[in-house]
Amino acid sequence: SIPLGFFGGLGSASRQGVLIKGANYLEALNDVSTVVMDKTGTITRGVFEVNQILPAANISRSELLKTAAAAELNSNHPIAEALRKSAGELPIKQDDIDNYREMAGRGVTATIKGEEILVGNDKLMEEKNVDYISSDSGRTRVHVAADGNYLGRIEISDRLKPDSLNIISNLLDNGTRVVMLTGDSREAAAELAEKAGLEEYFAELLPDDKVEKLEKIIRDSKKKTAFIGDGINDAPVLARADIGISMGGLGSDAAVEASDVVLMNDRLSDFQAALNVAGSTRRIVM
Ligand code: ADP
Ligand code: MG
């Protein structure tokens, strides 16, 4: 049977916007020695700003941006949202888009008025044999191509959530191993890790690579490994962790389903709140 104290703990957590799907997870939070975090939407706000538009071909900045935004019309990725917001009104309708495909960790492709548009990262350009111009800025870069021809890139950036630095420092000070996983470029990952006070990170990971990295981290972990993600493309990692924690407001239903703990308010500090509740519950129950 479950000691009564656990119900108090689960209730107290839920009043703070932390849904814990069982007493076993509340108890397990006391034994977390490693915390693995996704970058976009978890450590960062998941709200990108467009910083620079760099056409490579005979195309204006506004055309480049609108072309990218049009191909991203049906994506709910934070990158797509930023491009659409910045592009404003688009010269196309839903009916003009065919063969739309989203490739997790890479980007999107769509046929617009007969042209095959690609919008995504270095990996996507390499896979599709597009001769792209690289960049080593610490920003997230979004390349655009049409029918295999490189049109240019758009550089965007995201900011830390206000509580990320503080939470990460607390975890590290308590001897917890903290690792960031991201599908973004090495340079963007390095810049963000530095801002977040993180030394350990792995970049350029596809969703399957994230699972593989997590499995290795779990094997090396002294006790339990928690993964915190925003739920966009990370349901498999959430499911694999000892404790999968998702952001309730940002993630998909599938992510909420795959996780053991849901932070309803998308705040990293609510993970700290969950650890605190777990600690006081153990003291009451023991
Ligand atoms: P993270 O690991 O930072 O949470 P994702 O796994 O969601 O990020 O995406 C990894 C990378 O894949 C992004 O940094 C971007 O380069 C590319 N990408 C994913 N989805 C899109 C999209 N809809 N449009 C453009 N690029 C995308
Ligand atoms: Mg993500």
Confidence at residue 251, expressed as pLDDT on a 0 to 100 scale: 66
Which residues in the chain land under pLDDT 50? none
Question: Could you give the CA distance from residue 229 to residue 235 in angstroms, rounded to a whole number?
Answer: 8
- Percentage of the chain modeled with pLDDT above 70: 98
Confidence at residue 2, expressed as pLDDT on a 0 to 100 scale: 67
- The 3-class secondary structure across the chain, one letter per residue, is CCCHHHHHHHHHHHHCCEEECCHHHHHHHHHEEEEEEEHHHHHECCCCEEEEEEECCCCCHHHHHHHHHHHCCCCCCHHHHHHHHHHCCCCCCHHHEEEEEEECCCEEEEEECCEEEEEECHHHHHHCCCCCCCCCCCCEEEEEEECCEEEEEEEEECCECCCHHHHHHHHHHCCCEEEEECCCCHHHHHHHHHHHCCCEEECCCCHHHHHHHHHHHHHHCCCEEEEEECCCCCHHHHHHCCEEEEECCCCCHHHHHHCCEEECCCCCHHHHHHHHHHHHHHHHHC
38 has catalytic annotation:
yes
For the CA of 185, the closest atom of ligand 1 is 14
For residue 252, the ligand closest to its alpha carbon is 2
**pTM given for the model:** 0.93
In one-letter notation, the amino acid at residue 92 is I
* Contact present, 250 and 230 (Cβ < 8 Å): yes
Residue 221 gets the label, from left (phi > 0), alpha (psi -120 to 50) or beta, of: beta
CA of 277 to the centre of ligand 1 (A): 34
ipTM higher than threshold 0.95 = yes
CA of 281 to the centre of ligand 2 (A): 31
Confidence at residue 101, expressed as pLDDT on a 0 to 100 scale: 97
Q: Is 109 in the pocket of ligand 1 (CB under 6 A)?
A: no
CA of 170 to the centre of ligand 1 (A): 28
Pairing of strands 107-112, 97-103: antiparallel
pLDDT tens for each residue of 217-232: 999 999 999 999 988 8
Q: What domains sit in the chain, N to C, each tagged with a CATH number?
A: 4-45+160-285 (3.40.50.1000), 49-157 (3.40.1110.10)
Ligand 1 pocket mutation pick from 37, 108, 121 by most atoms within 8 angstroms of CB: 121
For residue 182, the ligand closest to its alpha carbon is 1
